Amino acid sequence: MTISHHVAGLTLGVAVLLLGYSTSVAPPEHVAREARQLLANAVVGISTGVAPNPYNTLAAQLDSKQQELDERESRLERLESKAIEREQDAQWAFYSLVASALLFLLVAANFYFDARRSRIAASQFTVSLKRS
């Protein structure tokens, strides 16, 4: 037995009219509060307990051991990341030292060649006043 399209459409129309009427009569805060209360009442709380036996105590021990291992792993990962950062800092410090030494050598070579050039240039224009 199937419901005809006319009956389904009429039922849907009535439901929409009743929904519109209920939301226009009651303030939205009241509707929201009632909906929360209905939802809270719909929740059913069930609690069960199992007497301790070797299987569930072993599972609890395994869970606590797994949690301890996870904490250790996270500590090791943090230590490894810090060690990698320190190693990278040491590499950058070494590269900076090499670059500074190269710059120092270039500046020293520049001073040496400037001093040498000025002596050569000055000797070309000097006149000896000694009598021979």
23-36 confidence digits (pLDDT tens): 666 676 776 777 77
- Name the DSSP class of 44: -
Supply the pTM of this predicted model.
0.39
Q: Which residues contact 50 (CB under 8 A, 6 or more apart)?
A: 56
Q: How many CA atoms lie within 13 A of 119 on its CB side?
A: 6
Task: Quick: pLDDT tens for 102-127.
Answer: 999 999 999 999 888 877 666 666 66
What residue spans define the domains of the chain? 7-39, 83-125
Selection from 97, 95, 115 nearest residue 105 by Cα: 97
d(CA 68, CA 60) in angstroms, rounded, equals 12
> What's residue 124's pLDDT?
65
> What's residue 7's pLDDT?
74
Residue 8 reports pLDDT greater than 90: no
Residue 60 reports pLDDT greater than 90: no
Residue 44 reports pLDDT greater than 60: no
Cα 29-34-39 angle, rounded to 5 deg: 125
Amino acid at 36: R
Percent of residues, the chain, with pLDDT higher than 90: 37
**Rounded average pLDDT over 29-47:** 68
d(CA 123, CA 132) in angstroms, rounded, equals 19
**Rounded average pLDDT over 58-77:** 92
Amino acid at 51: A
> What's residue 22's pLDDT?
67
Could you tell me the maximum CA-CA distance found in the chain, to the nearest angstrom?
Answer: 142
Selection from 48, 92, 12 nearest residue 84 by Cα: 92
Mean residue pLDDT of the chain comes to 80
Cα 68-48-45 angle, rounded to 5 deg: 105
> What's residue 1's pLDDT?
47
